[in-house]
Amino acid sequence: MVEVGYNYCFTVTANAELKAIRIADGKEIWKFECPEPRTRGTTIPTPLAVGNFLINIPDSDATHAVEWDRTKPDQPPRMAWTNNLGMYCPINQFRHHEGHFYGFTGEIQESDEKVVSDSVLNLVCVELATGKLVWHQPGFKTGVSLTLADGLLFVRSYQSLRLIEATHKGDQLRGMVKTHDVWKPTLNLINFVQPVLSRGRLFVRTPDELICYRVGE
């Protein structure tokens, strides 16, 4: 939800467009066409609203940022930047921390279960204001997801869980554990489940188990 002027709105991806819809009566406040609407697929991640920026990572289209003045509801937004980063976004949301956002790039190879399960993605840090790729770290097996808390990224990568500092100064690994031994070639979504953090405990679902880690007091 975002505030535009005196209107509280929610933003949605309407296939080839971003739209701001007023909550009070459902009226469309503005809409914005994405860079390459003819190549669009199905967009899963929710647009990320930070300040006057709205970051959108649509499937089969370029990552882009829309900027608008929230105090002027009748003024249409403008394109702040666009960058074909190759973000991997069929399932996972991206996370914002101190002017940067974090997510994955790359693609799943072919359609064979074994090949799909062996596909490797990159964890990336992108500057929010410019779309500039700040750093990338390869080596994350498909089945990726991440949770952000207290400036730390809990990064799921199939059989492993890594604790990485959310900083633009590079991939700073704080620790890693192997979560389970079970390995199942799969095309489904069982390994994309996001770790859940609650009251100092982190819950991770594997193909056969639910694991709880104590990560804080």
Q: What is the pLDDT of residues 99-114, one digit of tens each?
A: 999 999 887 766 677 7
The amino acid present at 83, given as its one-letter code, is N
Residue 79 CA to residue 41 CA, distance in Å, equals 20
Residue 67 has pLDDT above 70, yes or no: yes
Residue 14 CA to residue 28 CA, distance in Å, equals 12
Higher pLDDT: 154 or 108? It is: 154
The whole-number pLDDT of residue 60 equals 66
Residue 182 has pLDDT above 70, yes or no: yes
Q: Say if residues 173 and 164 touch (Cβ distance below 8 Å).
A: yes
Return the CATH number of the domain spanning residue range 1-84: 2.40.10.480
Q: Name the strands in the sheet holding 78-83, side by side, starting at the edge strand that comes first in the sequence.
A: 48-50, 53-56, 63-67, 78-83
Nearest to 18 by CA among 72, 79, 89: 79
pTM of the model: 0.85
Nearest to 163 by CA among 89, 108, 214: 214
Q: Which residue is it, tokens 């679902």?
A: 205
Mean predicted confidence (pLDDT) in 143-158: 90
The whole-number pLDDT of residue 57 equals 81
Residue 119 CA to residue 136 CA, distance in Å, equals 16
Confidence of residue 48 (pLDDT cuts 50, 70, 90): confident
Mean pLDDT of the chain: 82
Confidence of residue 45 (pLDDT cuts 50, 70, 90): confident
The whole-number pLDDT of residue 217 equals 66
Residue 35 has pLDDT above 80, yes or no: no
Q: Say if residues 125 and 135 touch (Cβ distance below 8 Å).
A: yes
Is the CATH number 3.90.1150.10 carried by domain 86-189? no
Helical residues (DSSP H) of the chain, grouped into ranges: 113-118
Residue 122 has pLDDT above 90, yes or no: yes
The whole-number pLDDT of residue 21 equals 86
Helix (H, G, I), strand (E, B) or coil at 183: coil
The whole-number pLDDT of residue 74 equals 67
Mean predicted confidence (pLDDT) in 160-189: 84
Structural domain boundaries in the chain: 1-84, 86-189
The whole-number pLDDT of residue 193 equals 77
Residue 2 CA to residue 69 CA, distance in Å, equals 12
**74 contact partners, CB below 8 Å, separation of at least 6:** none
Residue 213 has pLDDT above 80, yes or no: yes
Do 1-84 and 86-189 have matching folds?
A: yes
Task: Kindly list the distances between the CA atom of residue 162 and the CA atoms of 145, 178, 188, 210, in Å, as whole numbers in the listed order.
Answer: 11, 9, 22, 17
The whole-number pLDDT of residue 130 equals 96
Residue 126 CA to residue 118 CA, distance in Å, equals 25
The whole-number pLDDT of residue 185 equals 65
